[in-house]
Amino acid sequence: MSKIRVVHYINQFFAGIGGEEKADIKPEIREGVVGPGAALNAAFGGEAEIVATVICGDSYFNENLEEAKTQILDMIKQYNPELFIAGPAFNAGRYGVACGTISKVVKEELNIPVATAMYIENPGADMYKKDLYIVETGNSAAAMRTAAPALAKLALKLVKGEEIKAPNVDGYIPRGVRKNIFLEERGSKRAVDMMLKKLKGEEYVTEYPMPDFDNVTPNPAVKDISKAKIALVTSGGIVPKGNPNHIESSSASKYGKYDIADFTDLTEVTHETAHGGYDPIYANADADRVLPVDVLRDMEKEGIIGELHRYFYTTVGNGTSVANSRQFAAEFAKELLADGVTAVILTST
């Protein structure tokens, strides 16, 4: 009996080519197994085999989306796979988005089963969980030991046409799909039993999980805005011309801190946007549209605010993971407090 033919997709890091400095490499395909494909092959238990591995840099994929999709699809077609697997991407945002994007393309264009894996807070998970089966992993490659077998197991079920059970059974991220099922006990009794377990502090599993939203308690109002030091923070990607810190256009892995002490106005000569999620023309023509330095300078002169902080902090919100966003804020919030900033104006796009 012949083995199921699999094509595997990974990024430049897991291919052993390099990190961020090699994220712009164009798609290439290699015969057989590369990197984490060895763990997947072992987990297949002889039922499937990776016949080829597609490698693409995260920056190249996300910044040349249409070309990358076409190039990679053409490469995959050469091997006539019966199954396509991408990742695992863990919490790498751009990698997760790439895994989700190319998996959806393969599913729609080649009509074969696809599977990928990533951390639940990876932006790729939120973007593609309704389209794909995405195995839930830990937040770093340290979880590869458990991620590879879980991904291989679900992928084999998909290619064999076996029934995919609930997310907590088959280990994938909930897709927002609800099914009617029939149980021996009626719903009213199950609800009361669940309530009694909750009251007793016992473990229970809800049949209807609700969305989990962060609840951020607002700070008290600024007592006297005319004496306040105001800082600007943006997820709109405004950076000095040339993007000196090379903040990524999507799934940002860094933020920038820039001095505006000598600026009363941001112009197309001095500033631009690095953001890849909206039309940049108007922001590039006048960055004050995203980061209102000109208006705050006027308010400063008129005594409406005390002063504008000399530094602004910026990143790109497009596909950037929640984990990275929290990390950025935790770092620069300490600096803002140390600099005596009273309040922050956070702008988006």
Instruction: Please report, for the domain that includes residue 18, its CATH number.
Output: 3.40.50.2300
4 CB-side CA count, 13 A: 25
- The answer to the question of residue 190 being in a domain is no
pLDDT in tens, 244-281: 999 988 878 899 999 999 999 999 999 999 998 788 89
Q: Is residue 59 part of a domain?
A: yes
- Whether residue 101 lies inside any domain: the answer is yes
**Total number of domains constituting the chain:** 2
Same domain, 154 and 245: no
Domain stop point among 149, 170, 191: 170
Tell the residue number behind the tokens 């016992």, with chain if given: 202
Whether 125 and 271 share a structural domain:
no
On whether the pTM is more than 0.85, the answer is no
pLDDT tens digits along 26-36: 999 999 999 99
| pLDDT, mean of residues 116-135 | 92
| 277 within domain boundaries | yes
* Separation CA 150–CA 5 (nearest Å): 18
Continuous H helices in the chain? 37-43, 58-63, 65-77, 93-110, 123-128, 144-160, 167-170, 187-200, 281-285, 293-301, 322-338
Q: Are strands 238-240 and 271-273 parallel, antiparallel or unpaired?
A: antiparallel
- In terms of domains, do 322 and 258 share one? yes
Statement to judge: residues 8 and 155 lie in one domain: yes
Same domain? 135 vs 240? no
- Both structure tokens of 322: 């929640």
Instruction: Flag whether 208 is in a domain.
Output: no
Instruction: Tell whether the model's pLDDT for residue 173 goes beyond 70.
Output: yes
Residue 202 belongs to a domain:
no
Same domain? For 132 and 20 the reply is yes
Q: How many residues does the chain have?
A: 349
Whether 115 and 18 share a structural domain: yes
Q: Are 47 and 139 members of one domain?
A: yes
The answer to whether residue 1 scores a pLDDT higher than 70 is no
Residues 21 and 128 both lie in one domain = yes
Residue 303 lies in a domain: yes
For residues 329 and 245, membership in a common domain is answered with yes
Domain of residue 9: give its range.
Answer: 4-170
